[in-house]
Each structure stands twice: as C-alpha cells, then as structure tokens.
Amino acid sequence: PAVWIATLDEIAQWWEAKARNRAQFVREGDAFRVTVDACPGTTLMLCRNGMETPIDAPGLTVDSRYRPCVGVAPASHRDAIAILTDLGYIVEVGERSDGYAVHLGLLDRTDYNAIAASRRVIDESTRPLVRFGTWPRGAKSALSVTGDIDALTIWDFVARFRGL
C-alpha cells in the first residue's frame, strides 16, 4: 500500500482541507447518483463486502435502494460523528434506519471501543457504501520524519542516553 511522505505542516493542511469534503446523493430509480465536492488529491472509495475500490471520477452512480452512506440517530454525539467523518465516512443524521447502507443508531460514546465497534459494523455491511480516502491520492498511511532540535551536536545527543 502507498505511504504518503509529508511534513507535519502538509499533513495539517490536508486534514484542514479534507474536513470540507462533501458528498450529495440523489435517488434515480433503484440507484443513487453521487456527486462530491472534495479537495484536490481526495480519493473516493466504493466499499462493498469489506472491499474498497478507488473511484477516479468526481461522481458515480451506485446501484442500490439504500443511501450509500452511514446513517446515525438525531441525538448522536457530535464528537462521534466528527471522528467517523475524519476517518472518511460520509455520515448523515436520519431517523429511518432502513434507508441507509449502514445505520448505526444512537452514537452516545466517543471512546476507542465505541468507535471501533461502529467501524466493525460499517466494514461488515454488504450494502454498497461511498467514503473518502483518509490520505491523499489513495495512500493507506502517512509518514512524517521530524527531528529534535534540542540536541544540536552529536555529543549532546549521546549525552542524553548516558544520563549526563
């Protein structure tokens, strides 16, 4: 899998731009037309049966009677929705659980276990789901190498390990 090598500043800029990504779903018979407004470098993914396929077009038509996104109950915790959105999921608030590819119900917790459980439910769905890639240009992870400018010489650096 591709790794995006970037500076911390580039990563911060990516997350800021990515937060503005939006998708719109329009029903067309037994399908949904999906159009996106996304920052440059964003990869659109079609998820089905645990597999993700990158989509090169700025939009697509998904053959499904269900909105190809994640639904949550209206009283869901805003931070839980934000976490799922940061992970690339397109989340809509809606009462009807039968209209979505996945409906998680009420998200009232934001701890790791609650979010991990939500992700498992999403990943186990057999209905098609559209989401944004987490990193630019389809990368599966990011790497940023930073330095410690406190150790100005090699001797200062070695002295740290010796406890001097």
What is the average per-residue pLDDT within 80-104? 94
What is the DSSP track for the chain? Answer: --EEE--HHHHHHHHHHHTT-EEEEEEETTEEEEEEE--TT--EEEEETTEEEEE-SSEEEEE-SSEEEEEE-TT--HHHHHHHHHTTB-EEE-S-GGGEEEE-------SHHHHHHHHHHHHT--S-EEEE-SSGGG-SEEE-----TT--SHHHHHHHHHT-
Which tens digit of pLDDT belongs to each residue from 103-118? 999 999 999 999 999 9
- Measured distance CA(27)–CA(92) in Å, rounded: 15
- Measured distance CA(82)–CA(16) in Å, rounded: 13
150 pLDDT higher than 70: no
Report whether 136 contacts 42 (CB < 8 A).
yes
Residue identified by tokens 């800029």 is 13
Which tens digit of pLDDT belongs to each residue from 27-81? 999 999 999 999 999 999 999 887 899 987 777 999 999 999 999 999 999 999 9
The number of beta carbons lying within 10 Å of the beta carbon of residue 65 is 13
Give the pLDDT confidence score for residue 54 in this predicted structure.
Answer: 92
Q: Is residue 86 left, alpha or beta, with left meaning phi > 0 and alpha meaning psi from -120 to 50?
A: alpha
What is the average per-residue pLDDT within 91-114? 94
* Nearest CA-CA partner of 117 in 144, 145, 83, 151: 83
Give the pLDDT confidence score for residue 159 in this predicted structure.
Answer: 74
| Residue 157 pLDDT class (50, 70, 90 cuts) | low
149 pLDDT higher than 80: no
Report whether 106 contacts 75 (CB < 8 A).
yes
151 pLDDT higher than 60: no
